[in-house]
Structure 1
C-alpha cells in the first residue's frame, strides 16, 4: 500500500464548486492503494480512518452467483480491515470471510462480497456487517460460514479477531421475504430469497442497517436481542429495454445516514435496467414513514451530510450501466437544495465516502478488482490534482476483457452480453 499524491494543471478532470459566488478548486490525493475490494469507511474513536476490504474470495467452496447462469462465487478467508493513521496505512485485521467471482481470462477474481461496513459504538466497541448476495441455505449448507448476511460484534481489531453474530438479516429474509409484496407488474425473478446487508450506522444501543438485496431497512439491538423491520423500500415500474414489458424496478438501498433533522436518509441504487436519473434519496421519519427527499440521480452508492447541513451524494455510475460503462460522480446538495458536481470523470467504481471533522472527504475507489482499490482524500479550495489512471478500465477500452455482462447490484439480474461479468451488490 502506497501513499501517492498526483497534481496536474486544471483541465477536464477538475470540477469547480460554486458556493456564495466563490469558485473552489478540488484536490485529490491517493492516501492508500493496493486494497482488496474496499467498501465502507469510518473514523474510529482513535481518530484513525478504517477501511473494510471485502477481499478476493478464494478456491472454495463455491455457491451460484446471483442472476442465474453457470457463474459461481467462491470462498476464501481474504477479507480485511485497514487502518489509516498519521500517514501510515496498516492492514490490522485479516482472514475475514470473503466470496468472489473468478474471472478466468485474467486469472483474477472480481466483485468480492464480505465485510461491507464497520462502525463503533459510544464506548469504542467495533461492529460490522457482512454481505451475502444469496440465501441462508447456501450460506449454511455449502459455505458453512455463519457471518455472511449478519451484523456481528468484533472483540478487537487485530489478526486474532473474534466475530460474534448478533442479527441474521439473511435468515429474516428467508423467513419473511418482506419485499415480495406483489406489485402487480411482471417480475421475472419473483423477489426470491436474497439478502445482502451493505451499510449501517449506530445510534445509542441500536444498529440501523440497509439490505441492498432485500430492499429493506432494519433496526438491530447491539446485544443481539432484537431485529426489527422498519421499512420496505418501494418498487416502481419501468419498461424492460430487452422485451418492452412493464416490469418491477427494485429499489436496492445502499447507504443510510442521519440528517440534521434527526431523520434517516437512505440512498437508492435501483435495480435492472438501472435507468438514468431515476435513483432517489429517501427520508424516513420517527414513525418510519418513507418520503422522497431528492431524486434525479443515477446509481447512488453512499451519502454523507456535512457540518453545514449540505449533503454529498456519491454515484457509483453517472449513466445507466445497462448500455455502457460509466465513471462515478460526487454531487453536493447545498442547504438551499442547489446541486453541483464536485468530482467526475476520475471516480472508477467508487464504493463509499466519509467526511472528516475538518471537512475533507474520503472516498473508496476502484472497489471491484482486488489489489486495485484506493482511498482518496478530497479537499476543496486548493490546487487541482487527480488520482492515478485506472488499469482495469484501460484494459476495457482496448478490448482485452471482451464483453461485460451483469454489471450491477440488484436482487436478481438479467443478462446483457455487452458487458463483463462483474456482479456488484447482488
Structure 2
C-alpha cells in the first residue's frame, strides 16, 4: 500500500471542524496561512523563514492509473516561503500528479533548507516509477530528490525511482513514494513510503539504512475473520538529539487504529520500536529530547466517514508506551510538522487543492 494511494483516496471532501487544544491554559491554535495546494512537509530555514512543500494539484495530463485512482500530470508543485506572516511561492513548476479535482496529489512532499541557503525537496509519486516514461520530461523529477537555490536553477540530485526499480528494497513489488527528508550531519536521509525503506544519499549512490517489513494484524470486520499482512509505509523521518534517526509509519491497509509505530534507527543496526499505539503518523519533530508526532487520522483511516476529511491530531510521545498526550485534536487532514520557539506548525487539509493551510499550535 502506497502512502500516495491512501492520500489520494481521501481527497473527497473539504469539510472539517476547527482545531481544539487539550490544555485549559494553552492558547488556542491559530491559522497562519491558507490557500495552499496539498501542503505536506515543512521546515524552518536557519534565518527563521518557514518553507512548505506543496504537492500541487496535478494538471491536464497525461494521466496514468494509480493504486487507487487515475492521476493526471501537471507542473503545479511548489515550495512556499512564509516570512513575517506573508506567504509566497518561491519555487514553482515542480511536477505534480493528482485527481481531476486536484486533491490527494503526489508531488513535492518535504523540504529542508541547508545552512548555505540551498534547498532539498523530495518529490513523491506513489506508483511504479516506470509510469514516468509516459510523462513529459519534467515528470522525471517525480520519485526523486531535487536540489536548487531560491530563484536559481534546480537539478535532480537523486533518482529514487531508478533505485527502487533496480533494488526493489522490500521485495513486495516495485513502487516508490519519497515522503520525508532530514539531515543527519551532512547527509540527506529519506524515507520511501512506497519502498518501505530508509535511505542515505551521497553524491553518487543510495545507501539502504533500514527496511520496514509487513506484519500481521486482524482483518477488518467486513472481511472474513483472521489476520492479514499490513505494510509499514514509513512516511516520516527526523534526526534525534541522540544521533539516531526516528521513523514513523502511516501503515497500509487496513490502517488499523493504534497499530502505527515509531522506530528508532541507529545506522548499522536493526530498527527498534520507540513508541506504539499510534494511528497513521505523517510527521515527527523533537523539542529537546521530547518527540511530537502528527496523526493524519486519529481513529484510523479506515474509520473516516465517506466524503469527509480525516480528523487528526498533534500528540506528545511517551516512549515505550501506547498512551500519548494529545496537544491538539480535531485537525482537518494534518500532515507536516515543524517546531520553533515553543510552537508547533502543522500543515492541514493536506489532501486539498486550494484549501490547505498551516496552523500554529502552542506546545506549552
C-alpha distance in 1, partners of 2:27/2:292?
A: 14
* 1:236 and 2:215 are equivalent in the alignment: yes
* 1:120 and 2:120 are equivalent in the alignment: no
Displacement, 1:245? 5.1
* 1:148 and 2:142 are equivalent in the alignment: yes
Displacement, 1:234? 2.4
C-alpha distance in 2, partners of 1:26/1:234?
A: 40
- Kept after mapping to 1: 8 A contact 2:274/2:319: no
* 1:166 and 2:166 are equivalent in the alignment: no
- Aligned residue number for residue 32 of structure 2: 31
- Kept after mapping to 1: 8 A contact 2:238/2:247: yes
- Aligned residue number for residue 341 of structure 1: 326
- Kept after mapping to 1: 8 A contact 2:36/2:356: yes
| Distance change in 2, residues 1:216/1:335 (3 Å) | closer
Q: 1:177 aligns with which of 139, 148, 168?
A: 168
Please list the CA deviations of residues 258-315 of structure 1 after superposition, one character each: whole Å capped at 9, or x if unmatched.
12211111001110000011100000113232100110111111111112x1111110
- Kept after mapping to 1: 8 A contact 2:348/2:356: yes
- Aligned residue number for residue 215 of structure 1: 196
C-alpha distance in 2, partners of 1:44/1:368?
A: 25
Displacement, 1:115? 0.7
Secondary structure of the residue aligned to 1:97 is strand
- Aligned residue number for residue 369 of structure 1: 352
- Kept after mapping to 1: 8 A contact 2:38/2:352: yes
* Runs of 4 or more above 4 Å deviation: 334-338
C-alpha distance in 1, partners of 2:225/2:160?
A: 34
- Aligned residue number for residue 256 of structure 1: 237
Can you give the 5+ residue segments of structure 1 that lack an aligned partner in the other structure? Answer: 1-10, 17-22, 103-107, 181-190, 382-426
Secondary structure of the residue aligned to 1:171 is helix
Can you give the 5+ residue segments of structure 2 that lack an aligned partner in the other structure? Answer: 1-17
- Kept after mapping to 1: 8 A contact 2:274/2:320: no
- Aligned length, in residue pairs: 339
C-alpha distance in 2, partners of 1:271/1:335?
A: 23
Displacement, 1:24? 3.6
C-alpha distance in 2, partners of 1:24/1:168?
A: 47
- Kept after mapping to 2: 8 A contact 1:310/1:335: no
C-alpha distance in 2, partners of 1:130/1:210?
A: 12
C-alpha distance in 1, partners of 2:89/2:339?
A: 21
- Kept after mapping to 1: 8 A contact 2:19/2:332: no
- Kept after mapping to 2: 8 A contact 1:54/1:79: yes
C-alpha distance in 2, partners of 1:335/1:174?
A: 35
- Aligned residue number for residue 125 of structure 2: 132
| Distance change in 2, residues 1:12/1:149 (3 Å) | closer
Secondary structure of the residue aligned to 1:27 is coil
C-alpha distance in 1, partners of 2:194/2:279?
A: 18
Q: CA RMSD in A?
A: 2.0
Structure with greater proportional strand content: 2
- Kept after mapping to 1: 8 A contact 2:254/2:302: yes
- Aligned residue number for residue 320 of structure 1: 300
Displacement, 1:42? 0.8
- Aligned residue number for residue 272 of structure 2: 291
Moved more, 262-271 or 121-130: 121-130
* 1:47 and 2:48 are equivalent in the alignment: yes
